[in-house]
């Protein structure tokens, strides 16, 4: 058996068109243009690529965007001042401060300073709290994208054994909380595995759905999964470059061997990655609707 490929690229394309229609509706019927501000401190190349992709997505959808690129020696006080300015700006419905900031800046303090009504990244304690208790709010973009991938791919999560490999605040913990909610596209039995887990393969072999987000290339191997499992690979690991200088990327799953046992699997690239930005755009539009009293 060779696994069905779950294409994040295709599903993200579908959602992009839905968000585009919603943006047009807000503009024509309500005179509202959703607005997103991105803030980047320093010149980390990967972060610059991510921020650039978000600005491009905004332009493609007709979302107003502001990009604030600050030098790496920007003080924490100056960054907090900018966040507060954006909190007060009625043109801005969503604020995203690119992670991680330079070491001299307390990332938690910056996240806490963002108005929860503009927390389209879903990392503010108010957003996290609402996610945990199952109340409506902004869900973190990558975990929410994973849930949408599963739902739109027709994967039955009701009562499913879901094993999350990784416990980061960005992916592991949030997706575990999302999947255990008593809600459509969730209602699963969830196990979280991490660096201190004993007999990890014993857990993963029981899984109906594996979500790999541990940051180790090809960590999940064929002997760690059962026949027919659904595998969502969140990892993006560079393992070298081609002779032309192009990066060689692999996930946290040994794709070539696991796909021969899995029922469905996401590729890297082209799986979870495309979902993250489109869910950010969706959150920004929702923030604009909430600010206008439409949601």
Q: HSE, CB side, 13 Å, CA atoms: give it for residue 58.
A: 25
Judge whether 208 counts as a catalytic residue. no
Q: Is 121 an annotated catalytic residue?
A: yes
DSSP at 220: B
Helices (H), the chain: 8-30, 45-61, 76-88, 107-113, 125-133, 141-152, 172-180, 200-204, 255-258, 273-291
- Residue carrying structure tokens 């879903």: 122
Which entry of 14, 56, 69, 98 is annotated as an active-site residue? 98
**Alpha helices, DSSP H only, in 71-120?**
76-88, 107-113
Look at residues 222, 224, 128, 134 and name the one whose alpha carbon lies nearest to residue 185: 134
Cβ neighbours for 169, distance < 8 A, ≥ 6 positions apart: 123
Cβ–Cβ < 8 Å for 206, 243? no
Q: Which of 214, 156, 218, 225 is nearest to 185 (CA)?
A: 156
Which of 118, 119, 121, 259 is flagged as catalytic? 121
Query: Catalytic pick from 54, 173, 218, 259?
Result: 54
Q: How far apart are CA 105 and CA 77, in angstroms?
A: 9
Contact 265/230 with Cβ under 8 angstroms? yes
Strand partners, 237: 250
Residues annotated catalytic, as ranges: 54, 98, 121
């Amino acid at each position: 058996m060779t696994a069905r490929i779950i294409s994040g690229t295709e599903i993200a394309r579908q959602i992009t068109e839905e968000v585009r229609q919603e943006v047009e509706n807000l503009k024509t019927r309500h005179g509202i243009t959703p607005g997103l501000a991105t803030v980047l401190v320093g010149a980390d190349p990967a972060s610059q690529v991510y921020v650039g992709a978000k600005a491009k997505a905004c332009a493609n959808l007709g979302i107003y965007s502001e990009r604030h690129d600050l030098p790496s020696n920007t003080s924490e006080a100056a960054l907090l001042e900018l966040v507060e300015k954006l909190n007060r700006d009625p043109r801005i419905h969503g604020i995203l401060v690119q992670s991680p900031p330079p070491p001299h800046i307390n990332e938690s303090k910056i996240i806490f300073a963002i108005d929860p009504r503009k927390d389209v990244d879903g990392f503010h304690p108010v957003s996290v709290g609402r996610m945990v208790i199952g109340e409506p709010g902004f869900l973190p973009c990558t975990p929410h994208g994973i849930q949408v991938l599963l739902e739109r791919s027709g994967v039955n999560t009701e009562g499913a054994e879901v094993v999350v490999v990784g416990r980061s605040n960005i992916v592991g913990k949030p997706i575990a909380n999302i999947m255990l909610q008593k809600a459509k596209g969730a209602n699963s039995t969830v196990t979280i595995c991490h660096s201190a887990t004993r007999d990890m393969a014993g857990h993963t072999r029981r899984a109906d759905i594996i979500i790999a987000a541990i940051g180790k290339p090809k960590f999940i191997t064929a002997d760690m999964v059962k026949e027919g499992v659904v595998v969502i690979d969140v990892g993006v690991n560079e393992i070298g470059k081609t002779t032309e200088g192009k990066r060689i990327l692999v996930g946290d799953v040994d794709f070539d061997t696991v796909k021969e046992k899995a029922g469905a699997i996401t590729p890297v690239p082209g799986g979870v990655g495309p979902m993250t930005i489109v869910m950010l755009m969706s959150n920004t539009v929702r923030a604009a609707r909430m600010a206008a009293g439409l949601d």
